[in-house]
Structure 1
């Protein structure tokens, strides 16, 4: 029986078909990850246009992140029940449809609803594009497949703020959703025509309804708690306390149920592989820290350095320049040498440059801001590409699809949590430092008197001094957060040495 199955497996693509197939799969992964950051710099525009507050506007980001994080682990079951190609192409088409509906939304309720549906449709695109990319490439080119997929994973969240800023500044916010529609529909159709003979066998397996409900409950409760905590004085609010209790009980119940269920919605037994579990710990800390600095940087540039959304996006994009060129090279090298060395070097490199950036000042030029980001970007392909090889190379081949889904879930959820935590910490530290500096600034009133002598009124002088204190407070808070994030990077770098070397290479058959 196994021999007949082996004979029916399609041969990897070659030539022009391989190029088009890889391009379409990379497009799917790129668009799904792009959506995690494309709306970040446009929240104020969206909220103002739809008549809501900026705080409510953050649900545009949260709804997508939570829905995507929930749908990613379901990919394995969906693929086994309906076929990997059918699920992938259907998700791709729905991604285009819901992107269009997001742009057509006329209320915040409608937009958040369509964003959640967009997240559900985008979730399966990431793990399936990864496993399908490996399947369509010849076995001796598997490193190139990992390199291309990893490159889109690294570049997309960096290009998101640029594209969002340009479209919002030059046109209007609906275009950040409309721009993806033609790519999703055309690439989805091309994927069906080229990849349909790669369809996997299906089986009528039941879905773990209880596990799915628990997953939705604890992930949703945790994300809402992190998003709304700063607006409700955290655990001084009964709402936040209830959300925290629900998230904690839901998470523990989810772990117990999934580890004892015969066919769980999320196969947590994969964590029995030490290489996979250590890789995921490294991934969660490193990608969370990377996402945190990717969120702080454009906000700092816009709020305190006077940059437009487009300018801040362009500066932030310097971090992704090296990733475009280095990802395929690192994939090739990590297939020949111990990939743990590359991961350690990459994460440590990110930590060193984040530490260097923790000495920033308000009088920095655009060049002084951007060149450290340019060199810091070297660390991302060094870290992410070989880490993918370690994680997928340490599990059994039959567990490859579930491992890819879990990896994408952890990466997506780490970024969502990091966004909430870093925004909360940044605001809290800025307020605390502002209060401390206010008592130390101009105690004798000399500066205020000088300003009044120059023609300012007393209110104008006090306002100018307060603005100066506010800018310095945010700058100090930003530097302190960068220092903490640098320590997280350095700790994460050491974790990878607890993982063994991969027991097998990631080949096309591994995703079957």
Structure 2
């Protein structure tokens, strides 16, 4: 006998709608905040746990990698558990894993907690969008999405500044502890309001082999990228083994997912030109964007001597224009070609990185802040137009799967890009240090004059003058290496513009759903 059709619950109204919006938005904010709040704390965390800053960066990359793997599971889990129950459980587990991060006594425990935190965070973003859309009348869906986008955008603004202030004023552990009360409040309110509005459940088979092969290649590739520099890359049997596992499991994953009846990642979507070009463009762009958000605070603290809170304030202005331009984007998107908007975003990012490529070791604070402030403009033009391109022309039943796959690709690219660019910065710094050190010879009269000048100005012994000169040389080498990264980043943004113009976005269709997928 056929089961009766279940009607969607009516929209919320009044104070219940306001309270529900706050609770769901807080869950989104908590998740987005956690992706950026640790950036400025990495040097402090590394120092307190007795590891290098490069190892400390795993706190960011492993969270992103675990989050990427979990995203494709959201649809299956929602069908099995129910939308509301899954959302509440994900919030509670996120709060618990945040507490585990805070009490971690060493790096291994912290990384394990961050992997758990990233995994349980997977459903939070897509479910928060769906729950908010279901809470508002259809004619106010744009308002619901605007509120969601505003919350998601405020996270990158508040994260670095809040993380820096907490780290300097209290302890780095508190950047994780603050999630606990926020999460408990959001979970409690969400359950009280939505427990009678649960989505229908049904038992669907899970693609276990696809999931295991996904975990295998993502984990082995991410560990290879994170450990490669420390183990001398392919001179190490460990790295060679990881590379082989990643390659074999990735090929197997592609073949299996292409033929599976219920694939965990629908790789067949990449046969669609718009989806393929848009997903590659947004993934590469996000990888460069996110990686630079990680290394910039490390340089500011490690070589310019800024406190964590000051480094956070330097990077915080990123979201100002992104928030201010959000309502403008909502008005111009329906009337504009998303390829033009995405191209303007990439040109804007290239301009910002070219500005940064002229930094020096005595750069002033305004010169640091200005590119970050201006970066908010292309950020406002970035996600929604590219998502519109990705989803345009797809049938309605394919849009949720396409949004999930593109988000998986983007988030994993952010983790992999951070590892690659961190390694690139280190390699370029070593190269520039070697080139500068060639001139630091006792036979070089310029070097002798420089040491004598430092000795005369600072006093102390000649050995102290040499040590001061060496510190200056290290700072200069790191600056030159970072400038190389900025140049490369600008070039990548220009190079991927043609990908946008290989697509042909259809009018309507997926574009209308783009904001929701973002």
Structure 2-normalised TM-score? 0.91
Q: Which residue of 2 aligns with 1:449?
A: 452
Whether the 8 Å contact between 2:451 and 2:462 is mirrored in structure 1 is yes
Q: Which residue of 1 aligns with 2:484?
A: 480
Cα distance, 1:8–1:66 mapped onto 2, change above 3 Å: same
Shift of 1:466: 1.8
Q: Which residue of 1 aligns with 2:211?
A: 212
Cα deviation per residue 1:118-167 (whole Å; 9 max; x = unaligned)?
11111111222233334434444444444443444444245333222211
Distance 2:118 2:504 in 1: 34
Q: Which residue of 2 aligns with 1:432?
A: 431
| 2:464 is the alignment partner of 1:465 | no
Whether the 8 Å contact between 1:279 and 1:499 is mirrored in structure 2 is yes
Q: Which residue of 2 aligns with 1:368?
A: 367
Alignment of 1:149-164 (within 5 A): 149-164=148-163
Shift of 1:453: 4.7
Cα distance, 1:399–1:190 mapped onto 2, change above 3 Å: farther
Q: Which residue of 1 aligns with 2:28?
A: 29
Whether the 8 Å contact between 1:330 and 1:382 is mirrored in structure 2 is yes
Cα distance, 1:41–1:348 mapped onto 2, change above 3 Å: same
Q: Which residue of 1 aligns with 2:246?
A: 247
Structure 1-normalised TM-score? 0.92
- SS of the aligned residue for 1:378 comes to helix
Distance 1:227 1:97 in 2: 26
Q: When the two structures are aligned, how many residues end up with a matched partner?
A: 510
Cα deviation per residue 1:16-52 (whole Å; 9 max; x = unaligned)?
4444433333322222232223223323433444455
5+ residue gaps, structure 2, are none
Distance 1:254 1:240 in 2: 21
Distance 1:67 1:319 in 2: 25
Shift of 1:53: 5.3
Distance 1:475 1:107 in 2: 30
Cα distance, 1:377–1:66 mapped onto 2, change above 3 Å: same
Higher alpha-carbon deviation: 68-77 or 46-55 = 46-55
- SS of the aligned residue for 1:33 comes to helix
Whether the 8 Å contact between 2:156 and 2:316 is mirrored in structure 1 is no
Q: Which residue of 2 aligns with 1:330?
A: 329
Whether the 8 Å contact between 2:351 and 2:490 is mirrored in structure 1 is yes
5+ residue gaps, structure 1, are none
Q: Which residue of 2 aligns with 1:506?
A: 512
Shift of 1:171: 0.6
Alignment of 1:319-358 (within 5 A): 319-358=318-357
Higher alpha-carbon deviation: 210-219 or 338-347 = 338-347
| 2:88 is the alignment partner of 1:89 | yes
Whether the 8 Å contact between 1:38 and 1:163 is mirrored in structure 2 is yes
Higher alpha-carbon deviation: 75-84 or 495-504 = 495-504
Distance 1:179 1:91 in 2: 17
Distance 1:510 1:102 in 2: 31
Shift of 1:84: 2.0
Higher alpha-carbon deviation: 49-58 or 481-490 = 49-58
Whether the 8 Å contact between 1:131 and 1:404 is mirrored in structure 2 is no
Cα distance, 1:332–1:4 mapped onto 2, change above 3 Å: farther
Alignment of 1:229-240 (within 5 A): 229-240=228-239
- SS of the aligned residue for 1:201 comes to coil
Q: Which residue of 1 aligns with 2:498?
A: 494
Cα distance, 1:434–1:201 mapped onto 2, change above 3 Å: same
Across the aligned residues of Structure 1 and Structure 2, the Cα RMSD in angstroms comes to: 2.6
Distance 1:315 1:60 in 2: 21
Cα deviation per residue 1:359-416 (whole Å; 9 max; x = unaligned)?
1122221112102211121110111123233334443222333223223222221111
